[in-house]
Amino acid sequence: MTDIDKSAAGEQRTPPAGPEAIKAIPVRHYGRYVTAVIAIALLVAIIYAFSQGQINWHAVPDYFFDDRIMKGVGKTLLLTVLSMLIGIVGGIVLAVMRLSKNPVTSSIAWFYIWFFRGTPVLVQLFLWFNLGLVFEYINLMPFYKDYWSNFMTPLLTALLGLGLNEAAYMAEICRAGLLAVDEGQTEAAHALGMSHSKTLRRIIIPQAMRVIVPPTGNEVINMLKTTSLVAAVQYPELFRFAQDIGQNSGAPVEMYFLAAAWYLIMTSVLSVGQYYIERYYARGSSRQLPPTPWQKVKANVLSLGGPRGAVGA
Amino acid sequence: MTDKLSKSDAVRTGTAAMVKAEGVHKSFGHVEVLRGIDLEVKQGEVFCLIGPSGSGKSTFLRCINHLEKVNAGRLYVDGELVGYRQKGEKLYELKDSEVALKRRDIGMVFQRFNLFPHMTAAENVIEAPVQVKGVGRAKAKERAMQLLERVGLADKAGNYPSQLSGGQQQRVAIARALAMDPKLMLFDEPTSALDPELVGDVLDVMRDLAESGMTMVVVTHEMGFAREVGDSLVFMDEGVVVESGHPRDVLTDPQHERTQSFLSKVL
């Protein structure tokens, strides 16, 4: 199976036996040292300025693992995951509808995307929150009947508001992904007797994922931050809890920094996850898998002194 | 050689038409690509379609498994109308699922291979039997290995298409089509995208397949293959059949002026 891999790896490990390898002095990149020094100096200056400001930095570590903050982090993550799930599933469905030959389904998808992409998500959240003004009861005949206000909990409001809005964006991302797959793939699958849905599920979507995943990672990170808006519909999450603590403890600004730090931590963890998902969907697309982040860091650090191409191979 | 002889006997005795075209027309917008094609492919026959690019030969091939819709005329595969059901005088379009059902029996090999790049060679071959016919995974895998063995690629079963040469990819594509046990195989310029060195391997597999008695419709520029393996040959130009007959006759002694000028350029 690994004939090609072996020969490629072999070439790299053993230097050519015949002629003597070239030993040249690499080009010196002095510009890199200069810019690095300037960047570090600026960073130090900014950190110093902040440390001298009238900010009670001790409040940040004091509350960093506060129960309410931890609860808020959990709820922010829960909200992100669930609304992205709604967004991704909805997005794929909408994209397929949009590309459908059926003019009714493609028009519905077009209208949905037009509406949900064209209005601010905060407005949509309020809309869901106040939908009780239009529908007094919810009545799913045999299964469930209740007042709308009991049914529409803050969590559900937040999920619908964020998820359905996200679906409109994901639809466009998925559509781009589906269109990026070569038409020959559809033909080959159809020629084998596969149905439209099987072709989509087994052949087209797995290949479209390579195009869909990178912008989706972006959307997840965006979503994580957008969840801070749902305080408006009475669903408490990280930002809301941080605000509350700030008002009670007399360190409001400090709590904003604390929240920012938590958001940064979460988005960093998500970025790592995105990287490995991309690697999974890249299988079969290139002979060698791309380097892991650690390999990249190593290559970049070493390349400060030498030419880029020589390291990391 | 005896195999070949016995097979030719079968062709001569077998009269059932696998593919039958009656005045087939096909247009893309205002461009008329097929302008009345009449031909018949007998069971067990290797039927070669040659002609300049744009003559409509690939389009005709794609009509056979309904990847393209015929605008006028009738096209039959194994006695059944392609893409439609006839009730009295009226034609009814077939549902997608009915078209898919008919395509199971028709294997197709493309110029650009069109292997599924996210699956290994073996997975490519297993995919359709498992997903379409509901064959068990283990059984499909066993069959896939036999087919890969047959096309000489048993050792590449775990490779992704990007790790295979063009010729190897095309042979996997042939194995993939054969996995559905088709009664008819369509080849759309199967060697046109290959390095000259790799063409031979693919033609060998096709020759082997022809000798096993498979009915094959082959769009090709490989005149040597057509002469050696083909039972019938049709020269097409500008959407019509210009000349047809036994490959040896047409290729060595073309009657029509257009055929003569084409062959003088490619032979």
Of A193, A182, A164, A188, nearest in space to A85 by CA:
A164
Residue type, B242: V
Q: A203 at the B interface (CB within 8 A)?
A: yes
Instruction: Give the HSE-up count for residue A72: Cα atoms under 13 Å, Cβ half-sphere.
Output: 28
Distance from CA of B6 to the nearest CA of A (A): 30
In the predicted model, residues of chain B with pLDDT beneath 50 are 1-14
pLDDT, residue A153, reads 86
Q: Helices B137-150 and B121-128 meet at what angle, rounded to 10?
A: 120
Distance from CA of A193 to the nearest CA of B (A): 4
By three-state DSSP, how is residue A295 classified? helix
Q: A196 at the B interface (CB within 8 A)?
A: yes
By three-state DSSP, how is residue B183 classified? coil
Q: Encoding tokens for residue A79? A: 């909200």
Identify the residue whose tokens are 């991704």.
A88
pLDDT, residue B131, reads 95
pLDDT at A311 over 70: no
% of chain A with per-residue pLDDT over 70? 88
Q: How far is Cα B26 from Cα B36, in angstroms, rounded to an integer?
A: 8
Of B190, B187, B216, nearest in space to B202 by CA:
B190
Question: What does the pLDDT look like over A16-50, one tens digit per residue?
Answer: 567 888 888 888 899 999 999 999 999 999 999 98
This model of the complex carries an ipTM of 0.90
φ and ψ at B254, to 5 degrees? -65, 140
Contact B236, B50 (CB under 8 A): yes
pLDDT, residue A133, reads 81
Beta bridge partners of B75: B21
Q: Encoding tokens for residue B149? A: 């063995």
Rg (CA), chain B: 18
The residue among A33 and A7 whose pLDDT is bigger is: A33
Q: Encoding tokens for residue B38? A: 């009449």
Of A198, A168, A169, A173, nearest in space to A186 by CA:
A198
By three-state DSSP, how is residue A140 classified? strand
pLDDT, residue A6, reads 45
Least reliable range by pLDDT among A70-84, A230-244, B6-20, B85-99:
B6-20
Q: Across chain B, where does the E strand assignment appear?
A: 17-28, 31-42, 46-50, 72-77, 80-81, 84-87, 90-93, 106-109, 184-188, 215-219, 232-237, 240-245
DSSP class of residue B52 equals -
8 Å CB contact of A194 and B100: yes
Best B59, B105, B116 member to test A by mutation, with max A CBs in 10 Å, is B116
Q: B106 at the A interface (CB within 8 A)?
A: yes
8 Å CB contact of B108 and A191: yes
Of B97, B15, B41, nearest in space to B219 by CA:
B41
Predicted TM-score (pTM) of this structure: 0.78
Number of Cβ within 10 Å of residue B63's Cβ equals 26
Question: What does the pLDDT look like over A206-219, one tens digit per residue?
Answer: 999 888 988 999 99
Residue type, B230: G
Q: Which H or E run includes A144? A: strand A144-147
Q: How far is Cα B61 from Cα B67, in angstroms, rounded to an integer?
A: 9
Best A192, A198, A199, A213 member to test B by mutation, with max B CBs in 10 Å, is A192
Q: What are the residues whose beta carbons fall under 8 Å from the beta carbon of B238, sequence distance 6 or more?
A: B35, B54, B55, B56
Out of B65, B96, B115, closest to residue A191 by CB: B65
Q: What are the residues whose beta carbons fall under 8 Å from the beta carbon of B200, sequence distance 6 or more?
A: none
